[in-house]
Structure 1
Amino acid sequence: MSDAEAVGRERGPSEDVPTTSEAIDSPLLEVEGLRKEFGGVTAVDGASFRVAPGSFTGLIGPNGAGKSTTFNCITGIHDPTAGTVRFDGRDVTGLPPYALAERGLVRTFQIARELSEMTVLENVMLAPPGQVGESAIRAVLPGLREEVERDEADVVEEAWETLSFFEIDHLAHENAGNLSGGQRKLLEMARVLMTDPEMVLLDEPLAGVNPTLEEKLLDRIDELRREGLTFLLVEHDMDVIMEHCEHIIVMHQGRVLAEGDAETVQRDERVLEAYLGGDV
């Protein structure tokens, strides 16, 4: 059994990555006419795109293209001014982050948001939904107390397996605030995985990460993708995008400028002009 399988998610067997046509016909995530205004500034201006289930899709664009705002609108950080977000066929536009997480749509942040005064293990154990939890009644009644103990034992076991998968189990009892930047990114991914997601939006997951941890994180993401998890990635490292993403969406001035595989995007003169400026 692979480390990814040991984490406990029940996913189908590894299959070939969905093609662009499959993304169009049966997307897991569908963004249609998304618009976000801040006062007189339009940060996202009618963006539309689709993400296929089980894919590793890149979302790129020059600074100010609207990528982060798009992420924030999809994941409930901002309420869109207009447009629709559908996940797994359901309209989830404007739902708060916790409601989206319950449906299997979660995200990471460019700056990891660990609970610094808690241990790495405790950070991970907080993530699973539907935990029984303790109460005065459960502490007194034997049957309910045993239920809490069984639930906690299951969470602890899954937490250790997840930390092992990301190779940070040796840091389990370290306060999260003492971790390096790269280790915090691995911890954030471990917490995300503990929510049993269907899709993860990654916001600059490699920013500030040294090459060794970068390779480790990319290996884990690729393994999880092969197990059936879907990823949408915002990343400024074009080498990573072109080498790892089978489908790439390019934004410019709040709109989707182009999309396709790496070769198609690299040959698109509109993309070159957006990044380099002027006529090509």
Structure 2
Amino acid sequence: MSETESGSETNEFESEAKIDATSTPDVSVEYPLQVDGLRKTFGGITAVDDATFQIENGTLTGLIGPNGAGKSTTFNLITGMLKPDKGTVTFNGEDITGMEPHAIANKGLVRTFQIARELEDMTVLENMMLAPKNQRGEKLWRSVTPGVRNDVIEQEEELLERVWEVLEFFEIDHIAEEYAGNLSGGQRKLLEMARALLTDPDMLLLDEPFAGVNPSLEKRLLTHIHELREQGYTFLLVEHDMDLIMENCEHVIVLHQGRVLTEGTPADIKSNEEVIEAYLGGNV
């Protein structure tokens, strides 16, 4: 190996982010997520129509609306699952409109799904070990090259320690060796959120995280979400349970036919006659 090649490999190796078990989100941007004029049509149907809103740092924001309001499509446009026809998505001051989902996740904007997407034939621990970014062992030559392999092993040990910390935080360390396919719906939601946290996100988009979850696990999930928010994480939450949204979110955005009908505090939304008539039927 030439001196030039060796230097190049060393620089590449040293430039990789080190796994940090105590990492915290970047809180330098007041509005980390800004959505401006998003539009998406499918044939003659407009699913999202000039949706515009911004999410304040360190908050838990609810995104509500009836079926067909455009909530899931908006999530998919923000996270790169779909490409918008027009409009922009800005995250931490950078235009991420139309980027691939993995590129957006690598920038710290991470989502979960209504139906958890764990790898069923792998254990909970194995699922967790796959989540963190910049793992040195992902490159075969690093795993077999003398000297460099020791650094791979060292990082894996640090990663394993951090994984166990997150498992304990979500109270699923006791099922670490269980196959993910054997978990209950609530346990899968806990696993998905735990995996998302291991990607070092600045912001989490949660798509109906409480769907199919029993009341006990729902309470645990909410507790963990509030604890993470207190640590500086930012959340955008889609959820059909209006009581849950009103009792836990600081800010609520209401979608109607793909557009933002109104937004404000839960008290603002409860007293908005247009929202009450269109969505809540006066029962909130």
> TM-score, normalised to structure 1's length?
0.90
Q: Is contact 2:26–2:202 with CA below 8 Å preserved after alignment?
A: no
Looking at structure 1, the residues matched to 26 and 45 of structure 2 have their Cα atoms a distance apart, in angstroms, of 44
User: What corresponds to 2:128 in structure 1?
Assistant: 124
Q: Is contact 1:12–1:227 with CA below 8 Å preserved after alignment?
A: no
Looking at structure 1, the residues matched to 172 and 66 of structure 2 have their Cα atoms a distance apart, in angstroms, of 34
Letter of the 1:98 counterpart: H
Residue number among 23, 31, 34 corresponding to 1:9 in the alignment: 23
Q: Greater Rg, structure 1 or structure 2?
A: 2
Q: Is contact 1:85–1:92 with CA below 8 Å preserved after alignment?
A: yes
Looking at structure 2, the residues matched to 248 and 276 of structure 1 have their Cα atoms a distance apart, in angstroms, of 14
User: What corresponds to 1:175 in structure 2?
Assistant: 179
User: What corresponds to 1:166 in structure 2?
Assistant: 170
Looking at structure 2, the residues matched to 159 and 247 of structure 1 have their Cα atoms a distance apart, in angstroms, of 32
- How much does 1:135 deviate? 5.2
CA spacing shift, 1:164–1:40, aligned 2, 3 Å = same
User: What corresponds to 1:83 in structure 2?
Assistant: 87
SS of the aligned residue for 2:87 comes to strand
Residue number among 209, 222, 228 corresponding to 1:224 in the alignment: 228
User: What corresponds to 1:202 in structure 2?
Assistant: 206
CA spacing shift, 1:149–1:260, aligned 2, 3 Å = same
Q: Extract unaligned runs of 5+ from structure 2.
A: 1-19
SS of the aligned residue for 2:200 comes to coil
Looking at structure 2, the residues matched to 48 and 148 of structure 1 have their Cα atoms a distance apart, in angstroms, of 44
Q: Is contact 2:124–2:176 with CA below 8 Å preserved after alignment?
A: yes
Q: Extract unaligned runs of 5+ from structure 1.
A: 1-5, 14-22
1:32-53 per-position Cα deviation (integer Å, ceiling 9, x unaligned): 0010111111100001001001
Mapping of 1:44-83 within 5 angstroms? Answer: 44-83=48-87
CA spacing shift, 1:134–1:7, aligned 2, 3 Å = closer
Question: Sequence identity of aligned pairs in percent?
Answer: 63
Looking at structure 2, the residues matched to 255 and 169 of structure 1 have their Cα atoms a distance apart, in angstroms, of 42
- How much does 1:72 deviate? 0.4
CA spacing shift, 1:140–1:62, aligned 2, 3 Å = closer
Looking at structure 2, the residues matched to 37 and 172 of structure 1 have their Cα atoms a distance apart, in angstroms, of 43
CA spacing shift, 1:264–1:132, aligned 2, 3 Å = same
Residue number among 100, 104, 108 corresponding to 2:108 in the alignment: 104
- How much does 1:138 deviate? 3.4
SS of the aligned residue for 1:222 comes to helix
**Does structure 1 residue 113 correspond to structure 2 residue 117?**
yes
Aligned CA-pair RMSD: 1.8
User: What corresponds to 2:11 in structure 1?
Assistant: none
Looking at structure 2, the residues matched to 88 and 10 of structure 1 have their Cα atoms a distance apart, in angstroms, of 15
> TM-score, normalised to structure 2's length?
0.89
